[in-house]
Amino acid sequence: MKKKRGFAIALVLIAVVLTLSLTACNGWLANSSDTSRFFIDIGKVDDARTASIVANNTIASCVRVITEYKNGSTVVSTASSGFIITEDGYVLTNRHCVVKYSTTGSDTPMFSSDKPMSANYSVVFADNKEYSASLVAFSSSADLAVLKINTLNLPLISDGSKFQALVFETQEELYYGQRVYTIGNPENIGLILTELTIASPAMRLGKSDEFDSVILDGNINHGNSGGPLFNAYSRISGIVYARIEGANKDTYGIGCAIATDTILDFLDSIKTVKINYKTTPVTVNSGDVA
């Protein structure tokens, strides 16, 4: 009798578990149009691969940046990377990806009176949706620039939803050997995830540099410039901007990124518009509260 009762209780428990599981699945499927479903808390996942989680959390916010420079009748197209930093379509990338001077052929002018070449900008998402954009501002001291997806394009977003903005990690302390990730557009073949290791969290590469670089060990290629640097929690820890090459242009697998402190200082310095980017909450110690 006791065995039959125990068996009946077990069957009831199994039925309850199956019901709850199906309810959870139905809820997930019902909300499949919600982009927030891609976000997974790495702290709650024990057996999933971190790189896969980071990619799924962030791919909807990464873009290819296509720039077409006009110099008279000549049009030169370049491809690089970028990422969404606000829900209304501000895109962060590198200055050298979107600014070029005809006097030097680079993103630095020869004279203070030089003006950048006129250009057309577009950003392409992972689902191949493409939007035109405009240059908002760029830094003269750091390799940073901001584009804005043109407002007229906003109604074209499916369901009238907003762009999925990435969040800057302001409390993350970069350290030697930390595993980080970037999603970029190397050689303009599409958005690709790359796993990297921090070889040095802060290094001043040149005497004229006004900021420290994060040195990365891994495959950084042409087109990766402007790509976000993610930590294991899918937060922005920097932006990729260069790779170190040998005298014969051979690559040693060493890349460079600008850390968030420099990025946030630049965004706050833009006078033409206030960019409402997101950061992780600042933790206040109880001892600091009066």
pLDDT at 191 over 80: yes
In the chain, where does DSSP find H-type helix? 2-30, 50-58, 95-98, 260-269
For residue 153, name the pLDDT band (cuts at 50, 70, 90): low
pTM: 0.78
Tokens 């850390």 — which residue? 259
95 domain-assigned: yes
Q: Is residue 43 part of a domain?
A: no
How high is the pLDDT of residue 48?
54
Examine the fold and report which residue of 117, 139, 160 is the final residue of a domain before the chain moves on.
Answer: 160
pLDDT over 90 percentage in the chain: 58
Does the pLDDT value for residue 182 go beyond 90? Answer: yes
Q: Are residues 142 and 98 in the same domain?
A: yes
Domain shared by 252 and 191, yes or no: yes
233 is written with which tokens? 């929690």
* pLDDT tens for each residue of 254-290: 899 999 999 999 999 999 999 999 998 755 554 444 4
Asked, for residue 176, whether it belongs to a domain, the answer is: yes
Of 123-127, 195-199, 248-252, the one with minimum mean pLDDT is: 248-252
Question: Within this chain, do residues 68 and 94 fall inside the same structural domain, yes or no?
Answer: yes
* Bridge partners for 83 per DSSP: 62, 92
Task: Using pLDDT thresholds of 50, 70 and 90, give the confidence band for residue 106.
Answer: very high
Q: How confident is the model at residue 253 (pLDDT cuts 50, 70, 90)?
A: confident
Q: State whether 212 and 128 are in the same domain.
A: no
- In the beta sheet, which residues pair with residue 259? 238
**What are the pLDDT digits (tens) for 15-60?**
444 443 433 333 333 333 343 333 444 444 444 588 999 999 999 9
The least confident of 67-81, 108-122, 235-249 is: 235-249
Q: Exposed e or buried b for every residue in 212-228, given b needs 16+ CB within 10 A?
A: bbbbbebbbbebbbbbb
The answer on 148 and 80 residing in a single domain is yes
Asked if 145 and 192 sit in the same domain, the reply is no
State the CATH number of the domain containing residue 197.
2.40.10.10
Task: Determine which of 16-20, 164-168, 183-187, 205-209 has the lowest per-residue pLDDT on average.
Answer: 16-20
Task: Supply the pLDDT for residue 226.
Answer: 97
83 and 126 belong to one structural domain: yes
Residue 290 falls inside a structural domain: no
Residue pLDDT, tens place only, 77-98: 999 999 999 999 999 999 999 9
153 & 76 share domain: yes
Assigned domain for 204 exists = yes
In a domain, 191, yes or no: yes
Residue 229 located in a structural domain: yes
| 35 falls within a domain | no
pLDDT of residue 74: 82
Please check whether residues 64 and 156 belong to one and the same domain: yes
Q: For the chain, what is the domain count?
A: 2
120 is in which domain, residue-wise? 59-160
| Structure-derived torsion over alpha carbons of residues 227, 267, 123, 191, reported in degrees to the nearest 10 | 20
Q: Do 130 and 180 sit in the same domain of this protein?
A: no
84 and 176, same domain (yes or no): no
Residues 130 and 219 in one domain: no
Q: Share the mean pLDDT of the chain.
A: 81
Q: Which long-range contacts (CB under 8 A, 24 or more apart) does 77-82 make?
A: 79/185, 79/188, 79/223, 80/184, 80/185, 80/223, 80/224, 80/225, 80/226, 81/183, 81/184, 81/185, 81/191, 81/223, 81/224, 81/225, 81/226, 81/227, 81/240, 82/123, 82/147, 82/226, 82/227
